[in-house]
C-alpha cells in the first residue's frame, strides 16, 4: 500500500520485513565500528562516511547529525552527543548489539531540532527516514477522561512511519505506526501483555475478543493470530484506529482472511481526531472476522451484540490508579457483558 503519510513505500507486508531482518542491521566485512562516548561533546566536528555497502555504525550516524545540529546552532559546544535526540530504528526490536544502519532505517526524535535542520538531516544523512520534533507530553490521548486534549509531536521532515516487531508464539507481528501521533511503548521483557492475552484467549480460542483501547492494534492482532474467530479493535484516537486497520493488512498471512477493506481515509480522519460513538474504520472478509472502530470504549455497547459475552482487554493509561481502573472495568463489563481484564 502507499504510505498514508508520504505516499511512498514505507509500509510493506510482514513477510517482506521479516525476510530482510536477519542481515538488515549487520555489518559487511568492510564496515567499521567506531564507538563514541555519548555523554561528552564531539571533540572534532567530523564523522565517518557510510561504507560502500551503504551501512554505517549508529554512532557515526549520530556524529553526522550532531555536526549538522551544531552548524545550525541547535546544539552548543557543551552539548554531549546524546543531546541530538532519541533514535528509533525501523523495524524496532530488542537488539543484542548496536546496529549498523542501512538507508532510511532511522527516525530521529529530538526536542532541539528546527525545521531547517530537520530538512538538512533528511537530505544529507541517508540513514535517516524522518525527523520529529518532540513536545512535552505524549502523543495521542494521555487519559481516558472525556474531553482530554490530545497531544502530538511534529513531523518536520521525511516520514515518521515505522514498525515494531512483537513475537506471538512462533510468529512475529509487524506493527506499524506514525510515530509523531502514537505514543512509544517499549515492551517489557517477556512481553507480559501478549502472555496475558494468550491466557485469556485460551485453547480452543474464545469466540469474540475485544481490544477496547487498541492503540496500533498489537493485542487484538495477537488474539487474531491465536485464532480467535471474531476480533473487534476499538480506539477513540484516529491514528490508533487507522493503524490498527493497516496492521491487519500487513500481518494478513497470520489470519484466515481474504481481504481487508479500509473504509476511512487517514487525512479525512485528522479533523475529527477523537471518536465518541464507535464508527467502523475497517472490516475483513473470510474465515476470521476482524473489525476496527473509532470510538470511546464506554460506548462499545452500541456495536457488541447483546449476549455475545466477549473477552475484552482494557489496556488503559494510568493503571496505577487502581480504583479508577476498577471503575472502568465495571463500566465496560456493564455495557457489553462477558469478562474484562487489564493486561
Ligand atoms: Zn511514509
Ligand atoms: Zn559495509
Q: Are residues 187 and 312 in the same domain?
A: yes
Which ligand is closest in space to the CA of residue 155?
1
Q: How far is the CA of 160 from the centre of ligand 1 (A)?
A: 7
CA dist 33 and 27 (Å) reads 9
Only one residue has cell 475485544, namely 210
- Flag residues of the chain having pLDDT under 50: none
Q: What is the CATH number of the domain that holds 330?
A: 3.40.50.150
Let me know: does 56 contact 84? Beta carbons within 8 Å.
no
Which ligand is closest in space to the CA of residue 90?
1
* Residue 316: predicted pLDDT: 85
Q: Are residues 120 and 222 in the same domain?
A: no
Q: Would the pTM count as exceeding 0.85?
A: yes
For 107-136, give the DSSP string: EEEESS--HHHHHHHHHH-TTEEEEEE--S
Would you say residue 151 lies in a domain?
no
Would you say residue 148 lies in a domain?
no
Outline where DSSP puts E strands in 140-184.
Answer: 154-158, 161-168, 171-178
Q: Are residues 333 and 184 in the same domain?
A: yes
Only one residue has cell 498489537, namely 218
Q: Which is nearest to 276 in space by CA: 181, 148, 152?
A: 148
* Residue range(s) defining the domain that contains residue 204: 176-341
Q: Are residues 219 and 119 in the same domain?
A: no
Would you say residue 309 lies in a domain?
yes
The HSE-up count of residue 315 (CA atoms within 13 Å, CB side) is: 24
Residues with CB under 5 A from ligand 2 (ion): 28, 30-31, 51, 53, 55
* Residue 319: predicted pLDDT: 75
Q: Are residues 215 and 105 in the same domain?
A: no
Q: Which residue among 84, 110, 134 closes a domain?
A: 134
Q: Are residues 57 and 180 in the same domain?
A: no
Q: Are residues 185 and 106 in the same domain?
A: no
* Residue 146: predicted pLDDT: 63
Contacts of 1 (CB under 8 A, 6+ apart): 11, 246, 249
* Residue 245: predicted pLDDT: 98
Would you say residue 203 lies in a domain?
yes
* Residue 144: predicted pLDDT: 66
Q: Which residue among 105, 134, 163 closes a domain?
A: 134
User: 56 to each of 41, 106, 122, 128, 289, how far by Cα in Å?
Assistant: 20, 11, 15, 11, 44
CA dist 293 and 295 (Å) reads 6
Q: From the DSSP assignment, how many helices (H) and strands (E) are in the chain?
A: 8, 15
Q: Are residues 240 and 107 in the same domain?
A: no
Would you say residue 68 lies in a domain?
yes
Which ligand is closest in space to the CA of residue 55?
2
Q: Are residues 194 and 72 in the same domain?
A: no
Q: Are residues 217 and 275 in the same domain?
A: yes
Q: Are residues 212 and 280 in the same domain?
A: yes
Distance of CA 197 to the CA centre of its chain: 19
Q: Are residues 186 and 119 in the same domain?
A: no
pLDDT per position as a tens digit, 266-310: 999 999 999 999 999 999 999 999 999 999 999 999 999 889 999
* Residue 183: predicted pLDDT: 82
Q: How far is the CA of 186 from the centre of ligand 1 (A)?
A: 22
Would you say residue 8 lies in a domain?
no
Say if residue 302 is exposed, middle or buried (CB neighbours under 10 Å; 0-12, 13-18, 19+): exposed
Q: For the chain, what is the domain count?
A: 2
* Residue 298: predicted pLDDT: 93
Find the Cα–Cα–Cα–Cα dihedral 93, 66, 5, 187, rounded to 10°.
20
Contacts of 120 (CB under 8 A, 6+ apart): 68, 72
Which ligand is closest in space to the CA of residue 104?
1
Q: Which residue among 102, 134, 166 closes a domain?
A: 134
Would you say residue 9 lies in a domain?
no
Distance of CA 130 to the CA centre of its chain: 15
Would you say residue 16 lies in a domain?
no
pLDDT per position as a tens digit, 22-59: 999 999 999 999 999 999 999 999 999 999 999 999 99
Which ligand is closest in space to the CA of residue 28?
2
Amino acid at each position: 500500500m502507499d504510505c498514508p503519510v508520504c505516499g511512498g513505500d514505507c509500509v510493506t507486508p510482514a513477510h517482506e520485513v521479516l525476510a530482510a531482518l536477519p542481515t538488515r542491521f549487520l555489518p559487511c566485512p568492510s564496515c567499521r565500528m567506531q564507538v563514541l562516548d555519548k555523554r561528552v561533546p564531539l571533540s572534532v566536528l567530523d564523522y565517518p562516511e557510510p561504507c560502500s555497502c551503504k551501512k554505517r555504525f549508529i554512532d557515526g550516524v549520530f556524529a553526522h547529525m550532531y555536526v549538522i545540529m551544531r552548524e545550525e546552532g541547535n546544539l552548543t559546544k557543551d552539548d554531549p552527543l546524546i543531546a541530538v535526540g532519541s533514535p528509533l530504528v525501523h523495524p524496532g526490536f530488542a537488539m543484542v548489539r548496536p546496529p549498523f544502519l542501512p538507508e532510511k532505517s532511522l527516525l530521529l526524535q529530538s526536542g532541539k531540532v528546527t525545521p531547517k535542520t530537520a530538512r538538512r538531516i533528511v537530505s544529507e544523512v541517508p540513514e535517516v527516514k524522518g525527523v520529529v520534533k518532540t513536545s512535552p507530553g505524549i502523543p495521542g490521548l494521555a487519559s481516558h477522561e472525556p474531553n482530554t486534549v490530545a497531544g502530538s509531536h511534529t513531523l518536520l521532515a521525511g516520514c515518521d512511519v515505522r514498525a515494531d516487531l512483537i513475537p506471538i508464539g512462533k510468529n512475529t507481528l509487524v506493527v506499524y505506526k506514525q510515530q509523531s501521533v502514537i505514543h512509544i511503548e517499549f515492551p517489557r521483557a517477556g512481553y507480559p501483555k501478549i502472555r496475558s492475552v494468550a491466557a485469556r484467549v485460551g485453547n480452543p480460542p474464545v469466540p469474540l475478543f475485544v481490544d477496547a483501547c487498541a492503540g496500533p492494534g498489537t493485542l487484538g492482532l495477537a488474539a487474531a493470530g491465536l485464532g480467535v474467530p471474531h476480533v473487534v479493535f476499538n480506539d477513540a484516537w484516529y491514528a490508533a484506529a487507522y493503524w490498527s486497520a493497516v496492521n491487519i493488512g500487513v500481518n494478513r498471512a497470520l489470519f484466515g482472511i481474504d481481504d481487508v477493506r479500509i473504509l476511512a481515509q487517514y487525512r479525512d480522519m485528522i479533523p475529527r481526531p477523537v471518536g465518541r460513538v464507535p464508527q467502523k474504520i475497517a472490516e475483513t472478509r473470510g474465515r476470521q472476522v476482524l473489525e476496527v472502530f473509532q470510538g470511546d470504549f464506554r460506548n462499545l455497547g452500541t456495536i457488541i451484540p447483546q449476549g455475545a459475552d466477549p473477552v475484552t482487554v482494557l489496556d488503559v493509561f494510568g493503571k496505577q490508579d487502581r480504583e479508577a481502573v476498577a471503575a472502568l472495568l465495571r463500566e465496560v463489563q456493564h455495557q457489553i457483558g462477558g469478562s474484562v481484564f487489564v493486561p
